[in-house]
Amino acid sequence: MPLMEKPLTQNIRPGEKPPDIKAYERAGGYEGLRKALTMEPKTVQDWVTQANVTGRGGAGFPAGNKWASVPMGPDAPRPKYVVVNADEMEPGTMKDRVLLEGDPHQVIEGSLVCAYAIQADVVTIFLRNEYKLSAQRLSRAIAEAYAAGYAGPNVLGSPWTVELRLHVSAGRYMCGEKSGILNALEGRRALPRARPPRTAVCGLWGKPTVVNNVETLANVHHIVRHGPEWFRSLSHTDEGGTKLYGVSGPVQRPGVWEMPMGSTVREILDGCAGGMLPGRAFRALLPGGASTPLLAAEHLDTRMDFASMHKIGSQLGTGTMIVVDDQTCPVSLLLGLETFFARESCGWCTPCREGLPWVARTLEAIEAGQGHPDDMDVLDSHVNLLSGHNTFCELAPGAMMPLRSALKLFRADFERHISEHRCPWRTR
């Protein structure tokens, strides 16, 4: 058996308290940070680039490339920031909660390694409002990390000083958007910002800022400790490491598991989650949250990594799949999804603010048996208008991912609602 097959969850025992700093250290904790401090920051960046850690928040952008665009050296603008995106609000996603509740020191260590690599002065963990247990456990772990000298002035006797903060949000999906999160931290409405400039160059208060997802950062101290080669060997594909996969919906054992990156849909759905509940037949699934296109049964042997999912016209997203069975009305499914997006639109740009409620109302009418044949054109045209670069951020294009795929996959079901003036699922 290779050294640590499941680095992210090795210390996590469901139903038990997370390891305190002593227990975390006994399991090799903070060795990655100790080692990083003996390396050049640029070398840490290079190792993370070589390990090819793709962004686990859903975008899949290589973390090393992001870090490498931060200005370095004595002339770099200061202070520099690391923002840990713990605003887990993508519908169907519960993987970061497992890491935050189960092993908060791991998230802190990874964030500190990132901060060292870009020579940041401040690390802020941006946590969603509803994760009360995570807040409690992170606060305690932060206090322990300060007391042990892993954060604060002259970390472990080195010349580097870093401040570690926890910000608990006041709610709203837009806060998880990579520039909305910066406006939220500045005490503004969490509207997206125009890009360029990239946040790595001009982020929080106009200073260089790296925004990374919790799971992404939880990997990096393991890379420093065991090397990029080891990290890549954990994966089935080019994208290094393991991945926290999740399954929710009508399956035998819904949950979250750490598996090699690039495990297939079937391995996760059948192997981990035990397949469908008795009496429920599989129809489709959203591979990684509400903003990913639906997959049908023909794609069950596809690998769950960013490149493989992209190749079949879908997206890995957060890697936490939502399963749709034959007893779920596809129109109702889309109504649920689009109602969410319409409500969470920040209202900043017109296509999203006006278009999403129109989509939701159209779906509501179809679901209620009051649809018109022209409504299919309304939906098709919105899919085109709200995708691509017609909106300010990725919220509306994300909302169109499941709709575009549903209009192909379930077109007959939509048309039946319209022609029969009723929902065929309601009479069951």
Partner 1 sequence: MCWPMWTGEPMPMLTVQERHEIHAELAAAPTKRSVASDVLKIVQRHHGWVCDEAVKDVAELLDMTPAELDGVATFYNGIYRRPVGRHVILICDSISCWIMGYHPIRERLQSRLGIGLGETTADGRFTLLPTACLGMCEQAPAMMIDETMHGNLTPEKVDEILEQYE
What residue ranges bind partner 1 (CB under 8 A)? 88-94, 96-97, 128-132, 167-173, 184-190, 205, 246-250, 254-256, 286, 290, 320, 322-325, 328, 332-333, 336-337, 339-340, 343-344, 346
Q: In the bound complex, what is the minimum distance in angstroms from residue 339's beta carbon to partner 1?
A: 7
Which of 194, 79, 98 shows the shortest CA–CA distance to 137?
98
At 204 the three-state DSSP class reads helix
Q: In the bound complex, what is the minimum distance in angstroms from residue 173's beta carbon to partner 1?
A: 5
Partnered with residue 334 across adjacent β-strands are none
At 207 the three-state DSSP class reads coil
Task: Name which of 211 and 223 has its Cβ closer to partner 1.
Answer: 211
Q: In the bound complex, what is the minimum distance in angstroms from residue 52's beta carbon to partner 1?
A: 27
Q: Report the distance separating Cα 149 and Cα 166, nearest Å.
A: 17
Q: In the bound complex, what is the minimum distance in angstroms from residue 411's beta carbon to partner 1?
A: 20
Task: Name which of 134 and 308 has its Cβ closer to partner 1.
Answer: 134
On whether the CB atoms of residues 240 and 55 are closer than 8 A, the answer is no
Q: Report the distance separating Cα 285 and Cα 292, nearest Å.
A: 9
Task: Name which of 242 and 248 has its Cβ closer to partner 1.
Answer: 248
On whether the CB atoms of residues 235 and 242 are closer than 8 A, the answer is yes
Task: Name which of 184 and 234 has its Cβ closer to partner 1.
Answer: 184
At 102 the three-state DSSP class reads helix
Q: In the bound complex, what is the minimum distance in angstroms from residue 340's beta carbon to partner 1?
A: 6
At 136 the three-state DSSP class reads helix
Task: Name which of 36 and 214 has its Cβ closer to partner 1.
Answer: 214
Tokens 């957060």: give the residue.
318
- Conformation bin of residue 371: beta by default, left when phi > 0, alpha when psi is -120 to 50: beta
Task: Name which of 86 and 234 has its Cβ closer to partner 1.
Answer: 86
Q: In the bound complex, what is the minimum distance in angstroms from residue 404's beta carbon to partner 1?
A: 16
Task: Name which of 228 and 250 has its Cβ closer to partner 1.
Answer: 250
Task: Name which of 25 and 325 has its Cβ closer to partner 1.
Answer: 325
Task: Name which of 178 and 222 has its Cβ closer to partner 1.
Answer: 178
Work out the angle between the directed axes of helices 95-102 and 104-117 (0-180°, nearest 10). Answer: 100
Q: In the bound complex, what is the minimum distance in angstroms from residue 188's beta carbon to partner 1?
A: 7
On whether the CB atoms of residues 179 and 199 are closer than 8 A, the answer is yes
Q: Report the distance separating Cα 269 and Cα 273, nearest Å.
A: 5
Q: In the bound complex, what is the minimum distance in angstroms from residue 388's beta carbon to partner 1?
A: 24
Indicate if the alpha-carbon torsion angle 260, 261, 267, 271 is positive or negative.
positive
Distances in whole angstroms, Cα of residue 29 to Cα of each of 19, 70, 321, 347? 10, 27, 30, 44
Task: Name which of 36 and 168 has its Cβ closer to partner 1.
Answer: 168
On whether the CB atoms of residues 46 and 220 are closer than 8 A, the answer is no
Task: Name which of 132 and 195 has its Cβ closer to partner 1.
Answer: 132
Which of 318, 321, 341, 300 shows the shortest CA–CA distance to 58?
318
Q: How many CB atoms lie within 10 A of CB 347?
A: 11
Q: How many CB atoms lie within 10 A of CB 50?
A: 16
Q: In the bound complex, what is the minimum distance in angstroms from residue 412's beta carbon to partner 1?
A: 20
Q: In the bound complex, what is the minimum distance in angstroms from residue 180's beta carbon to partner 1?
A: 10
Return the amino acid letter for 385. L
Q: How many CB atoms lie within 10 A of CB 374?
A: 10
